[in-house]
A = this chain, B = another copy of it.
Amino acid sequence: MAPSIPTNAKAAGPDASRSTSASRLLTLVHHNRQLSRASLTRLTGLNRSTISVLISHLTAQQLVVESAPVGGSQVGRPSPQVSPHPGLVALAVNPEIDAVTIGLVGLGGRVIKKIRYSTGRIPTAAEAVNIAAAVIDGMRGELEANYRVVGAGIAVPGLVTSADGTVRYAPHLGWDSEPLADMFAGLTGYPAFVANDASLAAEAEMVFGAGTGIKNLVYLNGGASGIGGGIISEGRLLAGASGYAGELGHTFVRSDGLPCHCGSRGCLETEVRQAPLVELLKLATDDPSAIGPALCASTDPAVAAEVARQIGFLAIALRNVVNIFNPGAIVLDGFLAALHAAAPDALESAVRAQSMREPASQVLISPASLGTDLMMVGAAELAFAGFLADPVGYFGEQPAIS
């Protein structure tokens, strides 16, 4: 017992601070995809020599690669460019109500491969994991030959206990207390991490998408099965006491509203829904990306009325968001982005009219920008998180691939 405490202390001590520098450096490279040594020096505030030492370590461990300096524009000695090692990847898994999508994402948010497996019906947790494992087994040869996999991130539409990777409750999938991370890790051998899909999307949008550089951001996604949200404050995702934070779909927007499946009444997601829009527009597909153009093209007054009605309720929810969080940006995705596109001024002026003046003047309302890659990038980000926190120790002392 006595010797174990110093050992623990050591692990939390100089190791932690060493890895903090490597971690900061790698995170910067990850977020910017390509950076010169010189800009790393400026961004980290570390000394040139320190950067040099760190990068030589990271290069030796095949975590980054250096390429020839991009010549031209500046006086002085050109600085080599540092990029994430192209072989460093994470797996991304996203079960939905009619499909399971599996992706391979490189450090830097580069989606290398994306495979959508249609299930035709709602998959059980076991089915979703089996499908993902099968697809990954199919790629295994390629993975083991050309890549180093840091792990897998699974984005689930539901309440998730991230600490143990358990899906507590996913109403639209009908899942309840599924130890998804353990199931996946058991089948594939890769460490797995699970989180709420909207939370991951929020992070992806902050890092690579519409909210790049904005540290206080609220993301809202409208899909066929409801409205999910993710909140980012000071660059960190709001998790709450047990990781269930961000359920903006159940914000109160209407007295004596319709009952919601959550047991309450007047929730945002019972008033603002995709189905009536699809119906009025007579669209054949549920694909949210089709709704935007159709809405803009429509001249049907019934459609306009429904849009106005939904925008009214959405504005109430966003007003709460603005007053409570004072976000720098609100990013709308799915059919909420379509609603915004159909009448951007109507939505924005309604939100501003209801919110307090100061926070309202700061907020930018914009559609999501990562499109269909969003979930893959977000889920991969989850898998990368643990790696980025301690890049030097992550793979042990393995000499790596190739």
Contact = CB atoms under 8 A, between A and B. Distances in A.
Interface in A193-247: 214-216, 229, 231, 233-234, 236, 238-247
A355 to B, nearest CB: 7
Which of A47, A231, A255 has most B Cβ within 10 Å? Answer: A255
A61 interface: no
A327 interface: yes
Q: Which 9 A-B pairs have the closest CB atoms?
A: A240-B326, A241-B328, A255-B255, A244-B326, A264-B354, A245-B326, A12-B45, A247-B323, A216-B241
A248 interface: yes
Nearest to A328: B241
Contact of A238 (B45, B325, B362): B325
A13 interface: yes
A319 interface: yes
Interface in A146-177: 159, 168-169
A253 interface: yes
A9 B328 contact: no
Given A247-B359, A324-B247, A9 B242 contact: no
Contacts of A255: 254-256
A221 to B, nearest CB: 15
A353 interface: yes
From A45, A215, A355, name the one whose CB has the most chain B CB atoms within 10 angstroms.
A45
Interface residues of A, number: 60
A356 B159 contact: yes
Given A233-B233, A245-B326, A250-B355, 8 more contacts: A6-B47, A169-B358, A242-B359, A243-B326, A245-B325, A247-B323, A252-B253, A264-B353
A176 to B, nearest CB: 11
A362 B245 CA distance: 12
In this complex, the member of A241, A256, A357 whose beta carbon has the largest number of chain B beta carbons within 10 angstroms is A241
A264 B359 contact: no
A263 interface: yes
Contacts of A145: none
A251 interface: yes
Interface of A: 6, 8-9, 12-13, 17, 45-47, 159, 168-169, 214-216, 229, 231, 233-234, 236, 238-248, 250-256, 262-265, 316, 319-320, 323-328, 353-359, 362-363
Number of copies: 2
Given A325-B245, A355-B264, A356-B250, A216 B233 contact: no
Nearest to A251: B320
Given A46-B9, A240-B327, A324-B231, A353 B263 contact: yes
Given A233-B233, A320-B320, A324-B246, A357 B252 contact: no
A323 B45 contact: no
B46 A324 contact: no
Contacts of A47: 6, 9, 13
Contacts of A326: 239-245, 247
A240 B244 contact: no
10 contacts: A231-B324, A233-B238, A233-B240, A234-B239, A240-B327, A245-B325, A245-B326, A246-B324, A250-B356, A252-B320
Most B C-beta atoms less than 10 A away, residue of A247, A327, A363 = A247
Contacts of A256: 255
Given A12-B45, A353-B263, A354-B264, A319 B242 contact: no
A320 B247 CA distance: 9
A6 to B, nearest CB: 6
B45 A13 contact: yes
